[in-house]
Amino acid sequence: MPYSIQINGKRHTVDVDGDMPLLWVLRDALNLKGTKFGCGAGLCGACTVHVDGKPVRSCQMPVSRVANASVTTIEGIGNTSIGKRLQTAWLDIDVPQCGYCQGGQIMSAAALLTKTPHPTDRDIDTAMTGNICRCNTYLRIRAAIKKAASASSVDVGSL
Partner 1 sequence: MAAYFTSDSVRRSVDSFVVSRRTFLKASVATGGGLLLQFALPALARAAAAATEQSGATLNAFVRIAPDGVVTILAKNPEIGQGVKTMLPMLIAEELDVDWEQVRIEQAGLDTDKFGQQFAGGSRATPINWEPLRRVGAAGRQMLATAAAQTWGIPPAECVTGSGKVFHKASGRSASYGELASKAAGLPVPDLKSVKLKDPKDFKIIGHSKRSVDNPLIVTGRPLFGIDITHPGMLYAVFQKCSVFGGKLVNANTDEIKKLPNVRDAFVVKGGDDPQGLVDGVAIVADNWWAANKARESLQITWDEGATAAQSSAGYAEGAVQHAKSEPAVSLRKDGDAKSALANAARIVEAGYAYPFLPHLSMEPQNCTAEVRDGKVELWAPTQNPGPGRKIVAATLGVPESDVVVHMTRCGGGFGRRLRNDFMAESAWIAKVIGAPVKLVWNRTDDIQHDFYRPGGFHYLKAGLDSSGEISAFTDHFVTFGNNGRVADSATMSDAEFPAGHVEHLDYGMSLLPLGVPTGPLRAPRSNALAFVFQSFIDELAHAADKDPVEFRLALLAKSRPGASTAVDEGSLDSGRMSAVLKLVAEKSSWGKQKLPKGTGMGVAFYFSHLGYFAEVVQATVAPSGDVKVDKVWVAADVGSQIINPVNAENQVQGAVLDGLGSALHQEITIEHGRVVQANFDTVRPLRIGEAAPVEVHFLMTDHPPTGLGEPALPPAIPALCNAIYAATGKRIRKLPINTDDLKSA
- Compare residues 5 and 35 and give the one whose CB is closer to partner 1: 35
Nearest residue (CB) to partner 1, 6 versus 97? 97
Nearer to partner 1, 52 or 92 (CB): 92
Residues that bind partner 1 (CB under 8 A): 16-17, 20-21, 24, 27-29, 31-41, 43-44, 46, 73-75, 78, 86-87, 90-91, 94-103, 106, 124-126, 128-129, 131-142, 159
Q: Using CA atoms, how far apart are residues 158 and 24, in angstroms rounded to an integer?
A: 26
Give the shortest CB-66-to-partner 1 separation in angstroms: 15
Distance CA 79, CA 50 (A): 13
Contacts of 17 (CB under 8 A, 6+ apart): 1, 63
Closer CB to partner 1, residue 111 or residue 140? 140
Order the strands of the 48-51 sheet from edge to edge.
10-15, 2-7, 70-72, 48-51, 54-57
